[in-house]
Structure 1
Amino acid sequence: MSKPVEVVREFCALMERRDPDALRALLSDTAVYQNVGMPAIAGVEAIVENLGAQFSMFPDAYAFEIVNIADDGPVVLTERLDYIQTPDGARPAVPVMGTFVVGDDDKITRWTDYFDLGLTVKLLQGEDISSLVP
C-alpha cells in the first residue's frame, strides 16, 4: 500500500473520533477542503473549525466507511458511505466520492467530496432513502 493511501485511511479513521484537532496533523497548513457545490475552505485552521461545526451538528454519530480506495501517486480516490444521525435517531449512510491529494510531507493538501446534497436533505428531513444507498 502506498503512503498516500495510508494517510487517507488514517484520516478517515480519525474522522470517526469527531475530534477536529486530531485531524490537524494530517492537513497541510495551506490545505483546501471542498464539498462540491459549497464554497471551498482554505487553510488548516479554517478546515478544523469547519469540521468542528460539522461534528457539533451530528454529536451522536459520524462515521466514514471506505467502500473502495484507489491511488495514482499522491492522488487518492475514496468511495465512502458517510453515516450521520438524523433527528429521529436513525443512522443512514450518504454515498460520497472523495478525492485527496497528499503532499511529499505526507499531509493532505486538497480534499474534495462529491455527494448528492438533495439526498442528504431528504435524509435529514426523515425521508426513507434506503433504496438510493448502495
Structure 2
Amino acid sequence: MVDNEEVIREFIAAWSRLDPAELASFFAEDGVYHNIPASPIQGRQAIEGFIAAFIKPWTATEWDLIRIAASGNLVFAERLDRTRLGERKVDLPCCGVFELEAGKIKVWRDYFDMRTYMAGIGA
C-alpha cells in the first residue's frame, strides 16, 4: 500500500535537487500539473519540459512544509517555497492540492500569488 502523504513529502524534498526528470517521475504518465495562475500542463514529458524551463534561472530552492493533510487519494500541502535566482531571493507562500493514483501524482494544483512571484524575480 502506497502512503500518499509520504510520496508528496518526498516530492517536495526532491525540488531542492532541481532535477526536472526526477520531479516528472513522480507524475503518472498522463498526469496534470496546474499552476493555477497559468494553464495546466498534461503528460509526464510535457511536465518535465515545463519544469525545466520554469526552474532554469533558479540556483537553489528549499520548500518548507508548513502543514500537510491526507485523506485517501488527496494530499494538501501548505508550503513556503524559498528560491534563489543568483543573489535574488524569492519566498513564495503556496498551497498544493495533489490527487494520487497508484503512488503517482495524477493531478497537482498549486495555488499562489503570481504578483508575489513576479515581484520576487524582479519582473
One-letter identity of the residue aligned with 2:113: D
Matches of residues 68-83 of structure 1 in structure 2 within 5 Å?
68-83=67-82
What is the aligned partner in structure 1 of residue 95 from structure 2? 97
Which structure has the larger Rg?
A: 1
Does residue 110 of structure 1 match 2:107?
yes
RMSD in angstroms over aligned alpha carbons? 1.6
Partner Cα distance (2:57, 2:44) in 1: 20
Partner Cα distance (1:113, 1:120) in 2: 13
One-letter identity of the residue aligned with 2:5: V
What is the aligned partner in structure 2 of residue 84 from structure 1? 83
- Tell me the percent identity: 30
Q: Size of the alignment, in residue pairs?
A: 122
Q: Deviations over 1:24-81 (max 9, x none)?
A: 33210010001112010000000011111122121x1122111110011110001001
What is the aligned partner in structure 2 of residue 65 from structure 1? 64
Structure (1/2) with the larger strand percentage = 2
Matches of residues 22-33 of structure 1 in structure 2 within 5 Å?
22-33=22-33
Cα deviation for residue 83 of structure 1 reads 1.4
Segments of structure 1 that go 5 or more residues without pairing to the other structure are 127-134
Matches of residues 115-130 of structure 1 in structure 2 within 5 Å?
115-125=112-122
Partner Cα distance (1:72, 1:61) in 2: 31
One-letter identity of the residue aligned with 2:64: E
Partner Cα distance (2:18, 2:65) in 1: 17
What is the aligned partner in structure 2 of residue 42 from structure 1? 42
Cα deviation for residue 14 of structure 1 reads 0.9
Task: Tell me the TM-score normalised to structure 1 length.
Answer: 0.84
Task: Tell me the TM-score normalised to structure 2 length.
Answer: 0.91
Segments of structure 2 that go 5 or more residues without pairing to the other structure are none
What is the aligned partner in structure 2 of residue 17 from structure 1? 17
